[in-house]
Chain A
Amino acid sequence: MIFLQVAANTSSRFNYIMLFGTLAMLCLTLGIVFFVIFHQRKVIRFNDQLKKLEDDKQQILLNASIKFQEEERNRIAADLHDDVGPLLATARLYLNENLINQEPAAQLQSIFSAKQIIDDAIQLIRNISHSMMPPTLKNFGLESAMSDLFQKINGSGTLNASVRFHDYRTRLKIEQELLIFRIIQELVNNIIKHSNAGFIHLTQNANTTHSYFRLHHDGQGIVQTEFDRLNHVSTGLGLKNIASRIKVLNGRIFFEIDPSHTYYKVTLEIPKDSTY
């Protein structure tokens, strides 16, 4: 009935068309706006889930770090107990109370043997100590320690390794240097073990706020997504240690492949004023 009345009056019909047309347009607009809002909320919820996953990852890293510390302590304890302990016990045997009653030649022999054993023990303790804090790093800094490490790798003859520090006039804190040394050591170790590379080059540069380190190698490397994925899996302690050390340094690490696809790059960004 209404439609018939509307049809009877052209003006009214136009009015209705325009009214409904306008309402339809407004409904469409509101539909678009609500769709955008709900989609955005969905994306933010997804980001929150990602953040939660990131927190879980941090927990895994923390656990890995604790586990690593425990393993390190166990290794040192084992070295001291299994190597240094028996050596000192043997030396004690040579230097027992009966030594005074022995022939001078036998006494001399016992003292000489005890001296040899004590020298071995000193060497062992030195090795353990060096594995905890490389003396070159402590005395001469990161540049020398890195050169030392790369010279040793180069000396093997299977891999071309070189280091170039562009701007290292001001040394970082010793704790920072040790962490960077360990990270690079682990990266180099991984490259040697897994990548089948022909060369490894380490470069360093700095600006007023950050120190940058970049490892280049021509082997089979990984990119950032793979590093992130490997960090989420429960196996593989090395990469998790790298990530936890980077976190301690407030730094960042980027795994990339060169645009020419001829070599991989691992870049470390370390803030100079890290609170560590």
Chain B
Amino acid sequence: MKVFFVYTTVSLLLFIISFSAYKFYPEHLNTILSISLVVQFIFLSIIYFNIIRSAKIKKLIIFGTFAYIVFWIYNFLKSSFTDLDTTPFAIECIFFMFLIVYYFYEIMRFNLDIQLYQLPSFWISVAFLINFSGTFILFLFSKPLLNDPEFANQNLVILSTITIIKNILFCIALTTTKKLINPKNHSTLPADLNLDSF
């Protein structure tokens, strides 16, 4: 949750910077949006690194993050900054949709003590999954249509709706409280206590 708070604060700051750039320095808008994308990727990686249990997937997150950063730097250096390149966003969508679905698999398999809707991470994941799945196709095929006013209107409606849903789900995540259903029956036997020498 701490990482999530930092993420939302940084997102807000990036939004303010993007909005200012849009108003005063429109030529730098694409650069700022591109930077905000990689920042979002890093924060989401940290969030899912903390909540996913599987060691293999954790390794995949670390590897994926480094690979993404390398790709982003390469893409950033070769881009002309005149058009918004949506490929890194599409990669981010696929990567996190996979992670979120895996996280759902994990909570279905291991989370037997807490009701699902009492987990803040569940609501955060649903919010991100809706956000990514709703904007994935939009960004993947939007490049040839960026200057079409009809597309821009439609794009605005979809993005606004998804952002509102995402923020509502974030609010739900912040208000949820954990409540244990059954305490687990674990042995309290300390590992170093000798019970095996006769």
Residues of A within 8 A of B (CB): 11-12, 14-15, 17-19, 21-22, 25-26, 28-30, 32-33, 36-37, 39-40, 43-44, 47, 51, 162, 164, 166, 201, 203-205, 207, 209-210, 212, 214, 216, 252, 254, 267, 269
What's the least CB distance linking A105 to chain B, in Å? 61
The answer to whether B182 and A22 have CB atoms under 8 Å apart is no
The 9 residue pairs across chains A and B that have the minimum distance between CB atoms: A21-B137, A25-B133, A29-B133, A214-B195, A40-B116, A201-B198, A36-B104, A203-B195, A205-B193
Q: How far is the CB of B21 from chain A (nearest CB, A)?
A: 26
| Residue B55 interfacial (CB < 8 Å) | no
Given contacts A25-B134, A33-B129, contact A18 B193 (CB under 8 A): no
Whether A29 lies near B130 (C-beta < 8 A) is yes
Interface hits, B148-165 → A, CB 8 Å: 148, 150-151, 154, 158
Chain B residues, Cβ within 8 Å of A30: 130
Tell me whether A26 and B142 are in contact in the complex, defined as CB-CB below 8 angstroms, given that A40-B116, A212-B195, A269-B188 are known contacts: no
Interface pairs (6), CB distance under 8 Å: A14-B151, A22-B134, A25-B134, A36-B108, A40-B111, A166-B195
Bound-state Cα–Cα, A25 to B55, Å: 29
Instruction: Give the residues in chain B near A17, CB-CB below 8 Å.
Output: 141
Binding site for A on B (CB under 8 A): 101, 104, 107-108, 111-112, 115-117, 126, 129-130, 133-138, 141-142, 144-145, 148, 150-151, 154, 158, 181-182, 185, 187-190, 193-198
Complex Cα distance, B134 from A37, in Å, reads: 20
Give how many A-B residue pairs fall within 8 Å (CB-CB). Answer: 108
Contact across chains for A44 and B111 when beta carbons are under 8 A apart: no
Q: Closest CB-CB distance, B67 to chain A, in whole Å?
A: 24
Query: Shortest distance in angstroms between B51's beta carbon and chain A's nearest beta carbon?
Result: 15
Q: Are A43 and B112 in contact (CB under 8 A)?
A: yes
Tell me what chain A mostly uses at the interface: helix, strand, loop, or mixed: helix
Q: Is the CB of A25 within 8 A of B151?
A: no
A32 and B129 form a contact (CB under 8 A): yes
B130, B154, B187, B189: the one within 8 Å of A19 (CB): B154
Give complex CA distance A2, B82 in Å. Answer: 35
B155 (CB) vs chain A CBs: closest residue: A18
- State in angstroms the CA–CA spacing of A214 and B194 once bound together: 10
B117 contacts A37, C-beta separation under 8 Å: yes
